[in-house]
Amino acid sequence: MQFGPQIAGRISRSRIWKMIKYFLYFFLGFKAASSFPLPTNNTQCYINNPAVQRFREYVQIDTSKPENLEKAVAFWSRQAVELGLVFEVHRSEGLPIGVMTWPGVDPSLPSIMLNSHMDVVPVDEEFWKYPPYSAHMEDNGNIYGRGTQDCKDVTIQYVEAIRRLKNNNVTLKRTVHVTLMPDEETGGFNGMAKFVKRIEFKQLNVGFAFDEGLASPDENMLLTYQDKRPWQIKITVKGLGGHGSSLSDGSAVQKLQRIMDAIGKYRDSQKKISNEQSIPDAGAYDSVNINIIKTGIAENVMPEKGYLVVDIRLAVSKSVDEMQQLVDSWIAEGGNGTEAKYLRRVEVSDATPTDLSRPYMQAIQEAAKEMNISIVPVLCPAASDMIILRSLGIPALGFAPKTYTPSRIHTSNEYLNAGTLLRGIDVYVNLLQKLGNLNKL
């Protein structure tokens, strides 16, 4: 984790321990965090709660399939009608981008953008304890389903916070836009990347943005101010084919193996750097994983072609040239007939300042103090649509008030506790009032 300069100089022993717990939770997964306390309220406390019901309905839409995005759009269109808000749908390459707008008293002021994405990553149902789009709720209030943490929860929290404020006749100086992107999980190429170039985005007059955030293993709520740069590369090899009984050299599998060995060796070196951090710092190393390997046409045929996809998130200090040289060395391991294609290559990821001279940070910390909660700025070890907004100079922070929650993002048995969901709505109610009434962001 990398903290803003105003925080780095004031780290206490307790804060260091909390950071270490966060590191264990995020990078070692559920088992490392399973001992942390979780809400244990009975499901009867939640089952008839309208916000919980809407959350479960949203999770039940399988938006891993692009064609189901229209069902999500219809869901949000209904919510907008109920709230008396304008809902617009813009389309890019056939994909819908939703924008729900709550006008402020002074629409000339730059607006607040509450961003999230409708799409979710695919699932392998074999590893789920409940059907992944059932939104099954256990007796303790844990709701299981793909998207419960990434990131259908935060969208519900945005809109339910607006619902509560409107029901209480609260008005804000600034206009609030809830934006719903269609393809963040696949890079945002046809969603955020194209939307920010359109006149419809410029007309939103965005001055500050929230987006999806990280779950936390303890009482701290995490505020991400910078994303690591994602590089995703498809490396294709061609080699000698033949009968499955052959021991000839130069096969596609052998070439893939050499490349995988080189990548694995580098991954081990980055894992060592990670383990040696006295204070966990996700920006100090590259994360490297081979996420797809494909080759072969039959059980008794040596394949002549194969490919792998490697997913890299660059360290903050890693130069583009240095990383490119490393990738070139992996390609060289494959020899003749090896090609590389970038599926995603982000060279710059700006940071949003989190020092307390910023009015938006003052508002966030004031809200946290009023609610007796701790909001801690951290570097995001992954990537989000905020990379694009920050590149435009818009202050953008990832935030999801998910405390005492083991991260299940992109893995099986993703869940969120209903009590955690509802508490997050309380937090956003306070944050929106503070940020939405600032004279200056």
Active-site positions?
A: 119, 184
Determine the Cα–Cα distance for residues 30 and 410; give it in Å rounded to an integer: 12
Find out whether 334 and 258 touch, Cβ atoms under 8 Å.
yes
Half-sphere exposure of 313 (CA within 13 A, CB side): 17
Two tokens at 414? 């993703």
Give SS3 for 382: coil
List alpha helices for 66-151, DSSP H.
69-83
E strands of 158-314, at which residues? 176-181, 206-211, 220-227, 229-238, 242-243, 287-295, 301-302, 305-314
Give SS3 for 303: coil
Give me the torsion for CA of 127, 133, 134, 137, rounded to 10°.
70
Peptide bond into 380 cis (omega under 30): no
The bridge status of strand 206-211 relative to strand 229-238 is unpaired
* Burial 414-429, CB ≥16 within 10 A → b, else e: bbbbbbbbbbbbbbbb
Distance (Å) of CA 391 to CA 24, 103, 158, 210: 31, 26, 24, 15
